[in-house]
Structure formats: C-alpha cells, structure tokens
Amino acid sequence: MKNGQDQKYTALRKRIDIQLRRYSLPSIVNQARDVLFRCQNGGNYAPWHASLLIEFAFLAKSQATRNVTSSEFRKLYQLMDSLASATKRIRDLPGFHFWMRRMAFQQFPYKYSHQPEFIARQHFLFGDRDNPRLSQKFQELHGMTIEEFSQWAFCLMGFSYAESTNTFTPLWFKTLDKFDDPNGPLVKILRALSVDQQTLEKVIEVKHQKERGERVHFEESVFFRHPLYTQKPKGLWHFQEYSYFHTGFLQRRLIDFAYDSLRENDANEFMGHFGPGLERYVKRLLDYARVDHLGEKELKQKITKAGRVADFVIEEDDSRIILEVKGVEPSTTAKTTALSHILASDLRKSTLHAITQGQRTAKALLDSESSKKKIFHLILTYKQHYLSTGEILESCIGKEFLDAVLVDENGVEQFGRDDLFLISLDEFESLIEGVSKGETTFGTFLRKVQKSQKESENMAFVLRQHLAKQGIGGFPEFFKTAVDASFDELISRVSE
C-alpha cells in the first residue's frame, strides 16, 4: 500500500471507531444484522462490509446507550465502503488474478448458494463406516453422531430456505420427536453453532489480537464459524431465541462443520486420518462414474523406480490425467497476502509439491511405456483456493516459482502450465456426475476449459463457471440416496 493510501486508510479507520463509540453496541449489531439479512435478496449493501462493521463495533467497546438510527447507520456503512476503497487496488498487487482472488475470498461465500446435498458428503468422509476414527472423535467432541448431526443440519438448512425471517426458537422444530430433549442433538448443535454477546466479543478480540491492517477486509468473517447469535438464556431452553446474520454463514458452517471442528481440535491427528479418507472417497467417485484409473498402489507396481507417485492416474482414449488429492484449505495468509512470494511459500508443501509429484509420475509412466496421450495434471483440494488454472497460479505466485516445479532437472516439462488445473471437491463431484452420465470426459472438459481461457469473452475464474457453461452439474446419485435416507428418518420421527 502506498504511503498516502496507508495514511488514508488509518485516518478512515480511526474515524469509524469514533463514530461507533457514539452508539450502543446492540443497536449497531441489530442494524448490521438486518442489513445482512436483506442482502440475501439483493439490495445496495455489500454484506462483507456489514459483517466487518460488527467486528469493529465490538472492538470499539462503546459504553454509549443511544441507539443508532437507520440514517446514521447508512453513514457508518458509507464510511466502511470508503475504507474498503482505501485497501490495495490492482495497481498495488502482482496482477489482476491476484486482486480477483482476494475479492473472491471476501465476496464469493456470500453469493454462492449452498445445497443441502453437500451435508450428505459428511456421511462419506466422516461416517462410522468410511472413517471410524474421525467418526468416534466427532462423537467425543460433540456428543452426537455424524448421522444425528446431519439430520438436524438438514432441518436448519430447510429453515434457512423456507422462512422469510432470520430468527427462530427450537419450537420451530416441535413436530419432530424429542426436539425438546435438553440433552438431545438439537440442543447440542445449536450450542455448537451459536454465540452470545460476551462470547462473540472474546472471539473477535482473539481474531484481532494483532493489527490486521487492510488484510482484515479479506479474512473470513467470525460468523462463518459462529453463524447463530443469541441472548442470554431466558426461562426454558426451547424458548431461547436464535438469529443468524446471513444464510451463507449458517449454510456453510453446516456443510463444513465436521471438517472445521475436527481440524480445530487437533490438526495433525485430523489430517493423518482425513487425507487417506478423502482419497478413498475420491476412489468411490471414480468407481461410481466407471472411470478407468490406477490408484497409488497400482502405480507403484507399474513404475517401481518412480519413488513417490500421484494418488491416481485416469486413463482415457486420448488423455491421461494425473490426479493428486490434497485435503487442505487455504491458510489465512494464503487468502490475504498481497505478496507473491508469501503465497508461493505457503503453497510450497501442498500445491507446488503436488505439481512436482505429478511431473515425476508422468515421466515415469512415459519411461515405462510410450504414449501419445495428452497429459493433464489435476490437483483436487477439499476447499476452494481460487487458483483454477496454471495461468492463474503463475499470475499469483510468479513465473520463477512455477517453473521451479514444472521443469525437471533436465529442463523438461511433462505437462505445461496450460495443462495444470486446481479443482475443489464440490467442482470435482459435479464433473464426476457429468462423466457418469456420458455428458463429458475429463479430457474433453479440460480441453474446452483451455480453449475458453484463451478467449476473453469466455474466460472464467473458477472451474465451477466452466462447468456451468458446458451444462455440467448436479450431484452423484448416492448423495441423493443419503439425503433421502436422512429425510425418511426425520419423517419417521414426526410426533403424532
């Protein structure tokens, strides 16, 4: 950030603090919550500004008792808009894609519609049959099984779609058997998702322990981890009122709850079980779509001198896809940094290492048998990184860092940057469904992406957009089976 721009940002930030101390904290929170809720149906407000304003309000520690009016709040919001304009622009960053990526982390979570089918995925990644250790750990942490959590998560997801209000009490679920059990899963899930004012203040203080500067505009809102807000209990618990600020907060937390809470508890232990579990799940998807592929074990038998190899190789008539599976999410640093070398350093052990492994695997396969198939390298990540193509990756980390892993010791590339793609798990699931229906193949889809990326009118930032343009979407059929089973179980428990 240029010095003059830096000074402008600091001055605006102080001005916002002064204004916030003029009004009572609850009135700021209530106005911002209403704005966030209205943003779900359009409007002139940016929800990411409103949610950050709540964090600033807690940090201001106002002792005022006067409530902010609607017009006064609009002026506060306008100051937040000006503050956002004082953050780093395209000219201050390594390039357009770098700037766009920061915007994506800031804004896309509010705009993306989360489908209830994504909750079903937790059955296959964390369920007792597929990953018994993580299933047991989840039950120890939360006092309920993954299946119980999923059923009530479907109910909460249904409320967020069905109702025109953002406030509810457990009585909304009164038709369900044992909804008012004080030790039941509904109580436990609401407690796990909610915070009161005092707890929220502590959460925000922890997040802002160090001066964040302009990076805070691109960090994940605290409400993605704590989507429900409640006052201190009054009377019986099932009359307790809960509200959420934005459906995106609630829905995404429900979808990622098992992953996030288990990882937060013990990241090393979690990744030790989750990585292999995710690979098993990817194999299930490949088998479901009847995709001809080799797993790591078969690859090691075929190319015995290769050392470490990719997780999968997909073989098609005219294409060979090297598939590497990474059960990672981007770190806060990777999301918010304004420096290419910092991002490259953060990606070194995951994405960049995966590229090296892909090159090694591709070379070993060619050494073992000649082939004229087009080679693609696909890196699958659990969460979205907004680095969908090799070109975008190079734009964000710099040519020298990408060249270092694309070119081997002999100066040879087995696949080029145009043949490199990063795909999130939900994008991969949609692609698998298209392949299973015969709508496309991996090679066909990736060739069309390459062509579109060279045409300015057809370029896209994430593979989800390319999937939509090619008419590919939906969920694997076994997702629907799991959803139907959960709903059947819920229906069977409806009170007479």
Given a cut of 70, is residue 306 above it in pLDDT? no
Residue in the block written with tokens 């390319």: 466
pLDDT at 179 over 70: no
**Under DSSP, is residue 85 helix (H, G, I), strand (E, B) or coil?**
helix
Asked if pLDDT for residue 408 goes beyond 90, the answer is no
**Stretch 201-206: mean pLDDT, rounded?**
93
The set of long-range contacts for 286-295, using a CB threshold of 8 Å and a minimum separation of 24, is 286/312, 286/314, 286/432, 288/432, 288/436, 288/476, 288/477, 288/478, 289/432, 289/433, 289/435, 289/436, 290/436, 291/432, 291/435, 291/442, 292/316, 293/323
Per-residue pLDDT tens digits for 22-60: 999 999 999 998 888 888 766 678 899 999 999 999 999
Q: Which of 129-143, 197-211, 234-248 has the lowest mean pLDDT?
A: 234-248
* Confidence grade of residue 183 (pLDDT, cut at 50, 70, 90): confident
Phi and psi for 410 in degrees, rounded to 5?
-100, 10
In percent, the amount of the chain with pLDDT more than 90 equals 55
Which band of pLDDT confidence, cut at 50, 70 and 90, is reported for residue 473? confident
Poorest-pLDDT segment among 216-230, 268-282, 302-316, 318-332: 302-316
DSSP string, 409-431: TTS--SS-GGGEEEEEHHHHHHH
User: Is a pLDDT exceeding 60 seen at residue 2?
Assistant: no
Tell me if 324 sits within 8 A of 299, measured CB to CB.
no
Does residue 180 have a pLDDT over 90? no
Report the distance separating Cα 56 and Cα 80, nearest Å. 10
**Residue 165: phi, psi to the nearest 5?**
-125, 160
Most confident stretch, 185-189, 396-400, 489-493: 396-400
What is the distance between the alpha carbons of residues 248 and 254, in angstroms, rounded to a whole number?
10
* Residue 18 identity: I
Q: What is the pLDDT of residue 71?
A: 95
Q: Supply the pLDDT for residue 177.
A: 62
Four-residue CA torsion sign, 86, 87, 89, 92: positive
For the chain, which domains are there? 3-93 (no CATH), 117-196+211-262+481-492 (no CATH), 266-476 (3.40.91)
Per-residue pLDDT reduced to its tens digit, 224-279: 999 999 876 656 677 788 988 888 899 899 999 999 999 999 999 999 999 999 99
Res. 450 pLDDT band, cuts 50 70 90: very high
Pairing of strands 242-244, 167-168: antiparallel
Say what the pLDDT of residue 215 is: 85
Q: Would you say 245 and 33 are in contact if contact means Cβ atoms under 8 Å apart?
A: yes
Share of the chain above pLDDT 70, in %: 94
**205 conformational bin, left if phi > 0, alpha if psi -120 to 50, beta if neither:** alpha
Q: What is the pLDDT of residue 1?
A: 45
